[in-house]
């Protein structure tokens, strides 16, 4: 299952958010070798201070964190415009109907499971579940597209599960990694394709609270 955490609700989920930052350090700094800032075992950047929406994938039985992704509006500070300008020298996309996804990560501790086949299944399912969650939350909010910066590894994953994207700008080698910018359609067709790839036809987001209920 996936829960969404807005800035106003971060204090209610402080332990999970802290675990997410630790997971991001393990994924992006330790495993992928990205040049990210890690302090006290946590990877936090300036965009975490811009009121992002976090999607957290949790194990339904244990509640353990399986993965996470961050969403930001493109009308404010975002990574494509403010960090990866080289990918789109003509200017980044900006629209109230387009959000940016970043810091997409699956918990590497999944791979420490004794059963390697089951670990890989959970890894793939968590990846697709997060992608389904992005589509669902965007459809709730009336967002039509998501833009993202990703590496060649993620590009291969997207293609393998038929998560189609429109390539923006020109892929560029940044550090050791070939880096892409892509635009993803948040349509019913995209949700159906992802759902079929991961056998996730039912909604993955936790239900919205009733109108008037405190969040």
* pLDDT, tens only, 58-106: 988 888 999 999 999 999 999 999 999 999 988 889 999 999 999 999 9
Confidence of residue 215 (pLDDT cuts 50, 70, 90): very low
Q: Are 18 and 90 in contact (CB under 8 A)?
A: no
Range 41-63 average pLDDT: 94
* CA–CA distance, 174 with 151 (Å, rounded to integer): 9
Q: Determine how many CB atoms are found less than 10 A away from the CB of residue 116.
A: 9
* Per-residue confidence (pLDDT) for residue 145, from 0 to 100: 98
* Per-residue confidence (pLDDT) for residue 214, from 0 to 100: 44
More confident call, 121 vs 198: 198
* Per-residue confidence (pLDDT) for residue 179, from 0 to 100: 94
More confident call, 112 vs 28: 28
Range 45-63 average pLDDT: 94
Confidence of residue 167 (pLDDT cuts 50, 70, 90): very high
- Walk across the sheet containing 2-5 and list its strands: 2-5, 53-58, 65-73, 98-106, 145-151, 177-185, 166-174
Most confident of 105-114, 186-195, 203-212: 186-195
Q: Determine how many CB atoms are found less than 10 A away from the CB of residue 172.
A: 15
More confident call, 109 vs 212: 109
* Per-residue confidence (pLDDT) for residue 117, from 0 to 100: 65
* Per-residue confidence (pLDDT) for residue 50, from 0 to 100: 96
Range 104-129 average pLDDT: 79
- Sign of the dihedral defined by the CA atoms of residues 146, 5, 58, 213, in that order: negative
Round the CA-based radius of gyration of the chain to a whole number and report it: 17
């Amino acid at each position: 299952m996936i829960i969404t955490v807005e800035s106003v609700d971060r204090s209610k989920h402080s332990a999970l958010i802290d675990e997410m930052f630790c997971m991001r350090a393990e994924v992006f700094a330790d495993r992928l070798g990205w040049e990210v800032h890690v302090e006290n075992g946590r990877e936090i950047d300036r965009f975490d201070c811009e009121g992002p929406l976090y999607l957290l994938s949790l194990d339904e039985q244990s509640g353990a964190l399986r993965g996470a992704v961050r969403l930001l509006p493109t009308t404010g500070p975002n990574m494509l415009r403010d960090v990866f300008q080289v990918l789109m020298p003509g200017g980044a996309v900006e629209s109230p109907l387009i959000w940016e996804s970043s810091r997409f990560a699956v918990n590497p501790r999944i791979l420490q499971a004794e059963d390697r086949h089951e670990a890989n299944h959970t890894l793939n399912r968590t990846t697709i579940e997060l992608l389904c969650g992005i589509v669902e939350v965007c459809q709730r909010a009336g967002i039509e597209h998501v833009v993202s910066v990703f590496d060649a590894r993620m590009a291969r994953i997207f293609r393998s599960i038929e998560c189609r994207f429109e390539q923006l700008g020109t892929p560029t080698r940044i550090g050791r990694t070939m880096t892409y910018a892509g635009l993803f359609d948040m349509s019913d067709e995209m949700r159906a394709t992802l759902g079929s790839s991961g056998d996730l036809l039912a909604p993955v987001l936790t239900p919205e609270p009733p109108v008037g209920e405190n969040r």
